[in-house]
Structure 1
Amino acid sequence: MTGDDAATTDGGENRTPEEMDLDELREEIREIDRDIVELIARRTYVADTIARVKSAEGLPTTDEKQEVRVMERAGENADRFDVDANLVKAIFRLLIELNKVEQRENR
């Protein structure tokens, strides 16, 4: 992590994760987990909106070309942030499948 990425403690001082105690690190994880869930909720909302547009326009639920683009973008972002691309792609496959199931159920 760079200095810009360092966590801020209650005292307002920037500290790297290595300088934080276990409780502070666990709090950081709790905040990140909340952010992940919030982002999933936002993504789901947008996907639901896309499903309504597809339905109104008579388009199919599945768009394989778009799914390929999403997976490519997921791999690129994984590389950018030095995260295992297979793990990131697996998460995105799950998100896509969940959205498709919901879209089919709501038609």
Structure 2
Amino acid sequence: MSLDHVRNEIAKVDRDIIALIAKRQELAKRVAAIKIREGIAIHDGRQSQKVLVSVFDRAVESKIDPVAVQKIFEILITMSEERQRECSGDGNLP
């Protein structure tokens, strides 16, 4: 297998990751609609912590750096909350 072939495979994985992030952002819009309807705050520290613990455990099981994975998911959670704020009309307010 050539270097170019492996790099092409990595590029495909990168495209898949971006597509999944876009899907996660679309789901964040749905979450926002539910939270608005039910009067729930955008930031849910318990849910965020639950996600971070879960991805840490999955990373350990997958034998990849769990701290790095948590950092990635911290960014994804922030992106999700920002999208929810946009949908609720709060802009990027904390």
Q: What's the TM-score once normalised by structure 1's chain length?
A: 0.78
Higher relative contact order (CA 8 A, sep 6+): 2
How many angstroms does 1:70 deviate by? 0.3
Query: Who wins on radius of gyration, i.e. which is larger?
Result: 1
Q: Partner letter of residue 59 of structure 1?
A: I
Provide the residue aligned with 1:26 in structure 2: 7
Provide the residue aligned with 1:69 in structure 2: 50
Q: Partner letter of residue 85 of structure 1?
A: P
Whether the aligned pair in 1 keeps the contact of 2:25 and 2:79 (CA below 8 Å) is: no
Structure 1 unpaired stretches of 5+: 1-19
Provide the residue aligned with 2:59 in structure 1: 78
Higher share in helix: 2
- What is the number of residues matched between the two proteins? 88
Identity among equivalent pairs (%) = 36
How many angstroms does 1:71 deviate by? 0.3
Deviations 1:12-39 (A, max 9, x none): xxxxxxxx10110111011100111111
Separation (CA, whole Å) in 2 of partners of 1:39 and 1:102? 15
Provide the residue aligned with 2:79 in structure 1: 98
Structure 2 unpaired stretches of 5+: 89-94
How many angstroms does 1:47 deviate by? 1.5
Deviations 1:62-105 (A, max 9, x none): 11111111001110111111110111000000011111122223
Separation (CA, whole Å) in 2 of partners of 1:89 and 1:55? 27
